[in-house]
Amino acid sequence: MKRILLFLSVVALAVPLFSFAGCAGNEVPRSKYEISAAYEGGVLNAEMVFTYHNAEGCDMPALEFNLYGNAYREGAAFAPVSRSYRAKAYYNGDSYGNMEIAEVSPCAAWEVCGQDENILRVELEKPVPPGGEASLTIRYTLTLAEVEHRTGIARHAVNLGNFYPVLCVYEPEIGFYECEYYSHGDPFYSECADYFVEFTAGAEYVVAASGAVSAATAAGSKKTYSMLLSNARDFAIVLSDEFTLSQGRAGDVNVLYYSYDDEDAAQTLALLEESLAYFSDTFGEYPYQTYSAVQTGFCYGGMEYPALVMLSDSLEKSSYEYAAVHETAHQWWYAAVGNNELEHAWLDEGLAEYSTVLFFEGHPQYGQSGAELVEGARKVYGAFHTVQEQLEGEEDTSMSRHLRDFGEYEYAVIAYDKGLLLFDTLRDALGEKRFLSALKKYCRENAGGIAAPETLKSAFGSAGGQIIEQYESGQI
């Protein structure tokens, strides 16, 4: 997610196949989400058949799912929007939603639990052995708040990010990793799966989604769309009765731009095409057959999902273009190479920031200087460092910290600005050729999986690893 508005406010203070060479594509067994959902009047009624593939080395007696939609309910302990953005996000005043689980079957038992009613825990009828599979049917209702956020009714569109129960990542040392919904950063951590989605909405809507959207089947005042996406760690939908669709190509990829308030839609589409092509050439082939960018109401700058990104309609032109490139870069750093965003946010945000610098360096026609972007990050980080010393006597600039341990502005500076500076230092130290070669290796070897700081250090070798360690630990 791009934090442009936070930075400015503080200063003012088909079947898409995964094609990375390092991934075995559809030959690798994965879990599968089959979702049938219908949207009407601010409510999504859905049924999800989840087929779990046990890739762990132990029997699995239970499964846990993140219920991100419950963060929007009244009285949530972890509110999705911070106090500083609340008035902007909730444009009609306070509004609430929730995700209500109606039934889970077959199973021995199920409950909604977690620190903030954010977890669905399901006791299976019998443990699933390593390499085995089990299927569950989950019926649920998602009620949407009027909020310009990932999941909600915006002024001009309906955002359906994180609209279904998402399987928690299993870590042998701790079990299932439960994600609380912090208002700053992206509180997400998930593994790749295959998606088959059937979505019904009013015929007046134009529907954008992760992956390819088939021609709609009409029935009265409704239309039903079929959607497919393979080897993806999330799936999102945005719909609006105001969208204009602009279409283009980047190599073999269909590029789709949905907007309702962009006088330069053709230029935005060209930017999306060029950035997608540039990152494909620089890091590795884009993993899907379609790429959709959607203009929508969003209280921050933008939000990434596999094969679909949200771009805030509140941004001015230069910031909008920056967000478009940043979110496109996330198709490599987050969508392809995943990471635990609650504990190592800089891994994807820092890389997406610096990838944006690389793009604008080679595309001066957009009027954004890579050198100026780096210098801007250096000034922001330097000012933060100085203020922290004056106020606290010492400062914690370590990068691998849980989201709960960051303040809102502190998170933006460390994950984005310091992350950008880390990769700029690596590039200066290793040289352009070795730097880009290491990033290609990192992408190739980890596409479809989950990376950690040690994974990145290994890709950059001993010299690069030492630099990463110094930045990560707060020595720099």
Mean pLDDT of the 98-117 span: 98
With cut-offs at 50, 70 and 90, classify the pLDDT of residue 385: confident
Q: Which contacts (CB < 8 Å, 24+ apart) does range 112-116 have?
A: 112/67, 112/70, 114/67, 114/178, 114/180, 115/77, 115/78, 115/178, 115/180, 116/70, 116/71, 116/76, 116/77, 116/78, 116/180, 116/181
The rounded distance, in Å, linking the Cα atoms of 38 and 393 is: 55
Give the pLDDT confidence of 389-424 residue by residue, as tens digits.
777 667 789 999 999 999 999 999 999 999 999 999
- In whole angstroms, what is the distance from residue 66 CA to residue 216 CA? 30
Euclidean distance between CA atoms 22 and 24, whole angstroms: 7
| pLDDT band for position 211 (cuts 50, 70, 90) | confident
- pLDDT band at residue 266, thresholds of 50, 70 and 90? very high
Q: Measure the CA–CA gap between 241 and 97, rounded to whole angstroms.
A: 22
Q: Beta strand 222-232 with 217-219: parallel, antiparallel or unpaired?
A: antiparallel
Cβ count within 10 A of residue 267? 14
Mean pLDDT over 452-473 rounds to 97
Residue 326 reports pLDDT greater than 60: yes
Q: Is the pTM of this model over 0.75?
A: yes
Residues 6+ apart with CB under 8 A from 430: 438, 460, 463, 464
Q: Give the mean pLDDT of 380-385.
A: 92
Q: Report whether pLDDT(23) > 50.
A: no
Reply yes or no on whether the pLDDT at 19 is more than 90.
Answer: no
pLDDT digits (tens, 9 = 90+) for 279-307: 999 999 999 999 999 999 999 999 999 99
Average pLDDT, the chain: 93
Taking only the tens place, the pLDDT of each residue in 170-186 is: 999 999 999 999 999 99
Nearest to 427 by CA among 358, 359, 352, 348: 358
* Structure confidence at residue 27 (pLDDT): 64
The whole-angstrom separation of Cα 399 and Cα 390 is 20
Is pLDDT at 22 greater than 70 in this prediction? no
> 207: Cβ–Cβ under 8 A, 6 or more apart, which residues?
199, 201, 213, 216, 223, 225, 237, 238, 239
The upper half-sphere exposure of residue 147, i.e. CA atoms within 13 Å in the direction of its Cβ, equals 27
Hey, which CATH number is domain 4-342, 2.60.40.1730, 3.30.470.20, 2.60.40.10, 2.60.40.1930?
Answer: 2.60.40.1730
Asked whether the predicted pLDDT for residue 7 surpasses 50, the reply is no
The domains of the chain are located at 4-342, 351-473
For domain 351-473, is the CATH number 1.10.3470?
no
